[in-house]
Amino acid sequence: MSLVLQEVRARVAGIPVLHGVDLSLRAGGVVALLGRNGAGKTTTLRTVLGLAQLEGGGISCGGVDLGRLPTWRRARQGIFYVPEDGGVFQDLSVLENLRISARMAPERVLGPFPELGPLLPRRAALLSGGERKILALGRAFASGSPWLLIDEPSLGLAPGVLRRLAQAVSTLREHAAILLVEQNLGFAQAVADEYVLMHQGRSVDHGPIAALRESTFFDTAMHFGSGQGGS
Amino acid sequence: MPRSRWLRPAALAALACAFLGWPWVTGTPFILNLLTGGVIWGLFALSYDLVLGWTGEISFGHALWFGSGVYATALFLQATHVDTFLGIAIAAILLTPLSLVAHLLSLRLRGAYFAMITFALAEFAHLLVENATSVTGGTNGLTSVPLSADALAPGTLYVLSALCLLAGLAAVLLVRRSRAGSVVRAVRDNPTRAALFGYSEVWVKALTLVAASFLAAVAGGLFLAYQGMAFTGALDSGTSFTVLLMAVIGGADSAWGAALAGILLYVLENSLSATTSHWGIFLGAVYIAVVRFLPGGFGALARRLRPGRRGRGKRQDAILAAGQAAAEQGGPER
Amino acid sequence: MLLNVLLAGLSLAAFYFILSAGLSLVFGIMGVLNFASAGYFVLGVYATWYGLGHGWGMLPALLLAAAVGGAVAWLVEAALLRPLYGNVGGQILTTLGVMLILGETVNWIFGPQIQEEPMQGLLAGTVVLGGMPFPVYRLLLIAAGIMIFLLLSSVLRDTAIGLKVRAGVESQTLAELAGVRVAPLRSFVYAAGGVLAGLAGGLYGPFSGVYPTAGVDTLLLTFIVVVIGGLGSVPGTLAASLVIGLAEALVGFYAPNLALTVNVLAMIVILVLRPQGLLGKPPGRRDTHAA
């Protein structure tokens, strides 16, 4: 079982953004998708969910072709997307947020995510940034999805919260394979076992995460010191 | 092809002359009267083409400017007793600052919210006119408007209305082909991009809407002369809906189409509705079918059927552009 | 006497709530300003009139109105709106056409004249409250408004489909990402909007008469209520209905012509200053996840 992208080309609002992305995420694995701002990392995740227009190439999950399926069907195929801002429903309570995509009793989330317990009746709009991130990961857990696509979980969080988040991601990887977009290299290296480097809308290199710095494309693709924000 | 350089204007001029003169050749007073109304509604529908076709905004209150034209002209004539046609022009000009303010206010909003504020403004004016009985005559209307003798002669009114329509049509078509026209279209199709080139979406659209309101007010003034009195019906939501239907059927982005649809549908309604009560149902059905299957209206159909037309590239559908703002599920404000 | 004015205001509020709640939800989930709602309303007016005229009781006649409104709305969504999915402008224009056709059809079948609703028995009578007679029917309106509010809120709050509807109202993309199929949800909400509009129409006849332009005549009031309450919000719609109903009863008591004008003015001011409505979401929220 793998989530496989082959030669994926995609457009956002009519403009070509992805020119050829190959990657493969096997069950239980964690792949870090790395690259500069604007390299197409977020667009890659959105294309997997059908939120960007697929132009060519193929996306399949466990042998099922996803390319033509509507977004809700891809979600039901077991692919759960956690966007940069968490993607929680602001108008719903924490419990309802867990319930709407849950394939298990929402209370089971409280095992790995106990801090959500006292927040269950609260409207998600009233959560702090860190609480919202935890809720987003809690929803990913509750969905029971075997494939998680997580975009920049560490963005804008204080170091204390960051540690808790890394812990949460490790919990999730016991249950699911993760495709992780991350700017924070330390965070990525701590949780991922493979990397895919992206540059200008293409995947240019991949390998085990330990060998990341030896990649010939490392300097071109990473270009440290660039600003904040996704692609 | 040097010949076509004068052939086209000459053909257009001949067409215009025929348009101005033919009621005398064939017409009974009844037909002349019917056509006068049709031409005035053609001008009104043309003005709506500027709203939906040019700005890509749906207004459900365009009757506001038609009705303002009716009442402003009536009140101005009562106050000054000048020549009717002069009064129509002055009233329409006096209304422009008011319409600029109203459009700048409305254009703070987008999509369904813009649609709703246009509706609300028109209804507000309707209620004001209905309740300010001492000035407007309320629901009885203004029946004692001092119209000059030439305005009362049906032939003169027809020629003048037809001239206004032709002038409006010519102006709209000329501006469309000019630089200003392409700026307006760029703003409609991609406001963010146009803003990068220094064009403010709100101001470009507001000025376009002011032009639309001006044409509608002229049509309203002519309609006052046509009816000889001012009625609150001119400000009615039904009037807004009718002109919207006309423009959409004729072509949301086609000046010719909208004007011709205005003339034809007015004439048909007023000659047929005596014999059939299903006119409204029929019109509504045609309109729904056009929105679904022919979103550019009959104007776009004619354009497509004309052979040897210079390729102008694919035109974006105005109705789609109108919906985009709403579909983005963004906030209500621009 | 104040009690009577208050009760009259509450009964108006109840009617406005039923009239507007559907429109507000339909806008929330489809982004469509549903003019056709006025068409389902007028169908409801005539369905109830037809039922009562054939000796039905008030309740069956109202159920007929709700059923007709819902059935026609369901058909319209399936046949005319669904094919235009993604073209909100086209959908809004289509609902206007539906409203005009339904109004004209009713006019063609039943004629343009105002008919009186054949009310009988207890509902046609009055009770004495605070020393003044008060129509029993208006008390029924208040009861109906409270029932519909409780029903709507409990469906939205406590059922699975209610949760999905609220999620879809907030963001269709997020709902789809959670595995919710939004298309049938839209049909459901649209048909429910038709049911509410039809029911409101059925309730309208007994106090305002039965005539073909009833739908267009109430359109403005519906818009006022949904704008002030904030489009997409049921509690907001309730609050706005109360404000408008009570204001109309109080202002209307002293200056009948002024009430509607004041309300439209309030609508314009709110649109310009606070378009999300008095109770609506704060401004600046964008659906950043939309495809």
CA–CA separation, B257 and B304 (whole Å): 13
C261 chain-B contacts, CB cut-off 8 A: 124, 127-128, 131
Q: Report which of residues B29 and A121 the model is more confident about.
A: A121
Classified as helix, coil or strand, B278 is coil
If pLDDT is split at 50, 70 and 90, which confidence band does C286 have?
very low
Residue B164: per-residue pLDDT: 93
- CATH for B31-295 is 1.10.3470
Rounded to an integer, the average pLDDT of B276-305 is 85
CA–CA separation, A208 and A214 (whole Å): 10
The 10s digit of each residue's pLDDT in B103-140 is 999 998 888 889 999 999 999 999 999 988 888 888 88
ipTM of the complex: 0.90
Residue B277: per-residue pLDDT: 67
> β-strands A79-82, C132-135: how paired?
unpaired
Backbone angles phi, psi at B303, to 5 degrees: -65, -40
DSSP 8-state secondary structure symbol assigned to residue B315: P
How many CA atoms lie less than 13 Å away from A44 in the CB half-sphere?
A: 37
Chains that touch A (3 or more CB pairs under 8 A): C
Taking an 8 Å cut-off on Cβ atoms, the answer to whether C289 and A70 are in contact is no
Q: Report which of residues A214 and B260 the model is more confident about.
A: B260
C89 chain-B contacts, CB cut-off 8 A: 56, 58, 319-324, 326
Rounded to an integer, the average pLDDT of B53-80 is 93
Backbone angles phi, psi at B325, to 5 degrees: -60, -45
Angle CA A187–A193–A196, to nearest 5: 85
- Alpha carbon distances (Å) from A105 to A113, A116, A212, C181, C232: 14, 14, 40, 21, 29
Taking an 8 Å cut-off on Cβ atoms, the answer to whether C179 and A85 are in contact is no
The 10s digit of each residue's pLDDT in C65-93 is 999 999 999 999 999 999 988 888 899 99
CA–CA separation, B110 and B74 (whole Å): 33
Residues of A with CB under 8 A from a CB of C: 46, 49-53, 70-72, 75-76, 80-81, 83, 85, 87, 89-92, 96, 99-101, 139, 143
CB A37 within 8 A of CB A226: yes
Topology classification of domain A2-221: Rossmann fold (3.40.50)
Provide the shortest C-alpha distance from residue C140 to chain B (in Å).
31
The 10s digit of each residue's pLDDT in A48-102 is 988 888 888 888 888 888 888 888 989 888 899 998 888 899 989 999 999 998 8
Backbone angles phi, psi at C263, to 5 degrees: -65, -40
Domain ranges of chain B: 31-295
- CA-based nearest residue in chain C for residue B115: C33
Tally of CB atoms within 10 A around B30: 9
Taking an 8 Å cut-off on Cβ atoms, the answer to whether B113 and C271 are in contact is yes
What residue ranges define each of the domains in chain C, with the CATH number in brackets? 2-273 (1.10.3470)
Q: Identify the H or E element spanning A29.
A: none
Spatial CA neighbour of B194 closest among B55, B39, B71: B55
